[in-house]
Structure 1
Amino acid sequence: MIIGAILKTKGTEVVAVAPGDTVLAAARLLGEHRIGAALVRGPAGELLGILSERDIVRGMAAHGPGTTGLKVEQFMTRDLVTVTPRTLVTQALALMTHRRVRHLPVLDDSGGLSGLVSIGDLVKARIEEAELEAEELKAYVAAAG
């Protein structure tokens, strides 16, 4: 299975924040959408980074109680790990494990944003794929037997 198949089911809508937004505003947005990360986009929509719950927690540990009033750009991860719609789910899972990330922006061939996938999206897809393979194998054995 490829990432593009997940996006067809999940959709391509991506929640984003601006680098000048406060951490509090970003945290509220994450909570409102029940997600673990938001992309950080500039005024022209360009992809600047990602802000995750993990980034916020690290920021709180470093800056203390005043963290919520600070800007997203101070906490966001700028070095993005990305995939394409043609990336295999197994490759994306290996990349997430190796780079210790939980969200991958999906970029098309021209570098445009196609969507965002989470570790949960990929695990769900792998489970569905394994269940389908098991059912097909059962049907094959039953037909051959």
Structure 2
Amino acid sequence: MTTVSALISGLDTQFFTEPEENLYDFAGRLLDQQMFGAIVRDKDGDVVGVVTEHDMVREAFLKNAHLYDITVGQAMTENAVMCQASTDLAAALALMGKHRIRHLVVKDGEAILGFVSIKDILQKVHADQQLEILVLRDIAGMHSAA
């Protein structure tokens, strides 16, 4: 059983911002880091939300405003849904479906490890299934040759 920790290990998935940052500056940092979003923390370091490219586009469109004039706090999704690194991928997908979200903040106990997207999870599930198919074909080939 593959867990969410397999998606976090070795990756620099910790990308944070604060609610006061404007979306223009934040977008520049996203592009520099080749990230799709960030975990939003307040001045005390507590997680207050998640902001993604989708959130930015939605907020700019709805406000008909320039990214300079919108803060991360205005665009973010509050009350970020979190899971533990030990959560298996199927449970993580179920959690995303239940909350109708595409990103999860990943924790190890109380420590924030980063966040993952539904795309990350589906790519890993697909790769695992492809490996399983190859192994089963090899096993079937050994039995038919005998």
TM-score by length of 1: 0.87
Distance (whole Å) between structure 1 residues aligned to residue 101 and residue 33 of structure 2: 20
Report the Cα offset of residue 112 of structure 1: 1.8
Stretch moving more, 117-126 or 11-20: 11-20
- Compared CA separation, residues 50 and 119, structure 1 to 2 (3 A): same
Report the Cα offset of residue 106 of structure 1: 0.3
- Spell out, residue by residue over 1:29-75, the C-alpha distance to the aligned partner (whole angstroms, 9 max, x if none): 22222322111112333212111122212211221124432221122
Distance (whole Å) between structure 1 residues aligned to residue 124 and residue 66 of structure 2: 40
Name 1:70's counterpart in structure 2: 70
Report the Cα offset of residue 12 of structure 1: 4.8
Name 2:115's counterpart in structure 1: 116
Report the Cα offset of residue 105 of structure 1: 0.7
Distance (whole Å) between structure 2 residues aligned to residue 31 and residue 12 of structure 1: 14
SS at match of 1:83: strand
- Give the counterpart letter for 2:101 in structure 1: V
CA-based RMSD: 1.8
Residue 125 of structure 2 is aligned to residue 126 of structure 1: yes
- Give the counterpart letter for 2:49 in structure 1: G
SS at match of 1:120: helix
Name 2:7's counterpart in structure 1: 6
- Give the counterpart letter for 1:80 in structure 2: A
Residue 141 of structure 2 is aligned to residue 142 of structure 1: yes
- Give the counterpart letter for 2:41 in structure 1: R
SS at match of 2:26: helix
- Give the counterpart letter for 1:15 in structure 2: F
- Give the counterpart letter for 2:112 in structure 1: L
Structure 1, unaligned runs of 5 or more: none
Distance (whole Å) between structure 1 residues aligned to residue 74 and residue 83 of structure 2: 25
Stretch moving more, 114-123 or 66-75: 66-75
Higher strand share: 2
- Give the counterpart letter for 2:136 in structure 1: L
SS at match of 2:77: coil
Q: How many residues align?
A: 143
Name 1:19's counterpart in structure 2: 19
